[in-house]
């Protein structure tokens, strides 16, 4: 049996976004949070088939548009090599851009959208001129620092002190210290190898659980913080996800987590801009709109702004006769 998925492929600040236009399964659940769990239980082969090799690659991510469960304009289910994220910033920027350019979402108020994602409701403002979306700004879910000063020992590297912050996913944040003197001193292969080891170590000693949704839990991403590499930027990062991916974009949820982290330590304030560079030098403009609470923990309302480019249409077949129909990892 051959399943067919038509997609708009593209990228946000260099990181892939695959908006799947057809083939979305009907999902059970009263909210996108519940539908995400249903998708993972019954249809995860669609994610692995579309994101892993041979139809995808280490960085592949994207999503489906769904009707919202409440009053939002649309809902998104994210797919990615590591699973279905509660929230994805670069994915949202890409999906909103491609959907608006293709006329798939009809905003009730021009320039504004409300989108339901598994992690909550996000608000979008965008700049659409001459049929092209030039920028998308996300008012993201509330972000906060979940834990500080976790000490882990990384054999062959050094002991590290790590903080964990949430921006739609949980991030282990590593600031320069000891053997970590900056991204360029480490290099890509070492960042990937160390990130995997660090994530495992952190997961062994600490599991954050979201105060409002116990299904959002555990450190899934690692954010290496560094100084900026070009004029006008405030900082640079490398965000590790999946098994081998370094985000090519500055990572929307990672930027949100990092801004919560900086605010909590008095290094960023409400109303301030935070220009974040990715590993490849692309940029998001972050902002701190307000202080808020997550459960009873102090947090922030972050914003992230960026742009995306569609690179083409793609019809992908998942054929049960293919020995690699559900994708593979090596």
- Closest distance between ligand PYC and the C-beta of residue 26, in Å? 26
Q: Which residue lies nearer to ligand PYC by CB, 88 or 301?
A: 88
Beta bridge partners of 240: 222, 246
String of contacts with ligand PYC for each residue 134-163, x by CB under 6 A: ------------------------------
Q: Which of residues 56-115 bind ligand PYC (CB under 6 A)?
A: 61, 85, 88-90
Q: Could you give the CA distance from residue 60 to residue 69 in angstroms, rounded to a whole number? A: 27
The closest alpha carbon to 153, from 201, 218, 205, belongs to: 201
Contacts of 278 (CB under 8 A, 6+ apart): 13, 14, 15, 236, 237, 238, 239, 247, 248, 249, 250, 251, 284
Q: Is 251 a catalytic residue?
A: yes
Contacting ligand PYC within 237-276 (CB under 6 A)? 241, 247, 249, 251-253
In the complex with ligand PYC, the residue whose CB is nearer, 11 or 325, is: 11
Cα distances from 242 to residues 181, 192, 254, 278, 284, in angstroms, run 24, 10, 14, 17, 21
**Known active-site residue 84:** no
Angle in degrees, CA 113, 119, 125, rounded to 5: 20
Count, residues near ligand PYC per rule CB under 6 A: 12
For residue 219, give Cα distances in angstroms to 1, 75, 196, 197.
37, 24, 11, 12
Going by C-alpha positions, the residue among 234, 232, 226, 283 that lies closest to residue 13 is 283
Q: Give the nearer residue to ligand PYC in terms of CB position, either 49 or 89.
A: 89
Task: State the minimum distance, in angstroms, from the CB of residue 61 to ligand PYC.
Answer: 6
Cis peptide, bond prior to residue 54, ω within 30 of zero = yes
78 versus 325: smaller Cβ distance to ligand PYC: 78
The least distance separating ligand PYC from the CB of residue 57, rounded to whole angstroms, comes to 13
Specify the long-range contacts of residues 103-110, CB closer than 8 Å, at least 24 apart: 104/21, 104/65, 105/65, 105/73, 105/74, 106/73, 107/73, 108/73
Q: Which residue, 286 or 325, has its beta carbon nearer to ligand PYC?
A: 286
Beta carbon of residue 250, minimum distance to ligand PYC (angstroms, whole number): 8
- Residue in the structure block whose two tokens are 């108020």: 109
- What residues from 14 to 43 belong to the interface with ligand PYC (CB under 6 A)? 15
- With contact defined as beta carbons under 8 Å apart, do 61 and 18 qualify? yes
Residue tagged active-site, from 7, 51, 84, 88: 88
Catalytic member of 7, 51, 84, 251: 251
Binding mask 46-65 for ligand PYC (x = CB under 6 A): ---------------x----
Q: How far is the CB of 319 from ligand PYC (least distance, A)?
A: 28
- Name the site residues for ligand PYC (rule: CB under 6 A): 15, 61, 85, 88-90, 241, 247, 249, 251-253
Q: Which residues are catalytic?
A: 88, 251
């Amino acid at each position: 049996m051959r399943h067919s998925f038509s997609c708009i492929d593209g990228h946000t600040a260099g990181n892939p976004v695959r908006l799947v236009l057809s083939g979305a399964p009907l999902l059970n659940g009263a909210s996108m949070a519940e539908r995400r769990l249903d998708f993972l239980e019954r249809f995860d082969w669609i994610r692995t088939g579309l994101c892993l090799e041979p139809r995808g690659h280490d960085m592949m991510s994207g999503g489906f548009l769904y009707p919202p469960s409440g009053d939002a304009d649309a809902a998104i289910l994210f797919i990615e090599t590591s699973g279905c994220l509660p929230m994805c910033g670069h994915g949202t920027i890409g999906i909103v851009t491609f959907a608006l350019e293709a006329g798939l979402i009809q905003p009730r108020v021009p320039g504004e959208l409300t989108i339901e994602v598994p992690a909550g409701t996000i608000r979008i403002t965008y700049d659409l001129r001459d049929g092209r979306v030039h920028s998308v700004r996300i008012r993201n879910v509330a972000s906060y620092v979940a834990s500080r000063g976790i000490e882990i020992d990384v054999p062959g590297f050094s002991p590290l002190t790590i903080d964990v912050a949430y921006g739609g996913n949980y991030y282990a944040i590593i600031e320069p210290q000891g053997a970590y003197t900056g991204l360029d001193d480490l290099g890509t292969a070492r960042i990937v190898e160390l990130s995997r080891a660090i994530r495992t170590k952190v997961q062994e000693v600490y599991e954050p659980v979201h105060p409002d949704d116990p299904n959002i839990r555990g450190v899934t991403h690692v954010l290496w913080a560094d100084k900026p590499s070009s004029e006008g930027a405030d900082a640079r990062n490398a965000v590790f996800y999946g098994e081998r991916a370094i985000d090519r974009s500055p990572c929307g949820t990672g930027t949100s987590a990092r801004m919560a982290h900086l605010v909590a330590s008095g290094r960023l304030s409400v109303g301030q801009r935070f220009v974040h560079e990715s590993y490849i030098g692309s940029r998001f403009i972050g902002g701190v709109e307000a202080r808020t609470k997550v459960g009873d923990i102090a947090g922030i309302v972050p914003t992230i702004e960026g742009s995306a480019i569609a690179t083409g249409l793609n019809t992908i077949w998942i054929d049960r006769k293919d020995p690699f129909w559900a994708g593979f990892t090596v």
